[in-house]
Amino acid sequence: MSGLYDCLTLASCHLAGEILFPMADWVYDRLSRLDQSVLNKMWSMYIAGEYGGMYGIMIKIYALTKKPEHLKAARLFLNEKLFYPMEENCDTLRICTPISISRRLSALWMILLSMEESRTGRSARTSGIS
């Protein structure tokens, strides 16, 4: 999905958007049916070490489409092993490799951007937060 996003935004390939946006709709349609406990179980098995990839791309897609489902889909990828302990002030980044740290920081940055957008009702990218 990131590659399609790049083709659309960097190369102005509108065919990529014709593929990407329905794909984002499918992600939401598929995952929104699942209970949070099922999502947590899936993420602990399948993407336990990957933080922010799908979350980040779904937020980028939301920034283009403004479809609430795309932002909701992004939030379905919140990984309890990273984000929930941080709510309790637990340092979940302490024992990480440099690569996983950069991925986790990228995911956290995307969370902050989406929170700012939710708070202000405008895109954080155009309001001076980047």
Confidence band, pLDDT 50/70/90 cuts, at residue 120? confident
Confidence band, pLDDT 50/70/90 cuts, at residue 28? very high
pLDDT at 61 over 80: yes
CB 100 within 8 A of CB 51: yes
Distance, in Å, from the CA atom of 59 to the CA atom of 64, rounded to the nearest integer, reads 9
Q: What is the pLDDT of residues 81-115, one digit of tens each?
A: 666 666 666 666 665 545 555 666 666 677 777 77
Rounded-to-10 torsion of CA 2, 114, 111, 8: 10
Who's near 7: CB < 8 A, 6+ residues apart?
13, 15, 16
Confidence band, pLDDT 50/70/90 cuts, at residue 123? low
CB 107 within 8 A of CB 81: no
Q: What is the pLDDT of residues 34-51, one digit of tens each?
A: 998 888 787 776 665 556
Question: What pLDDT score does 16 carry?
Answer: 95
CB 55 within 8 A of CB 107: yes
Identity of residue 58: M
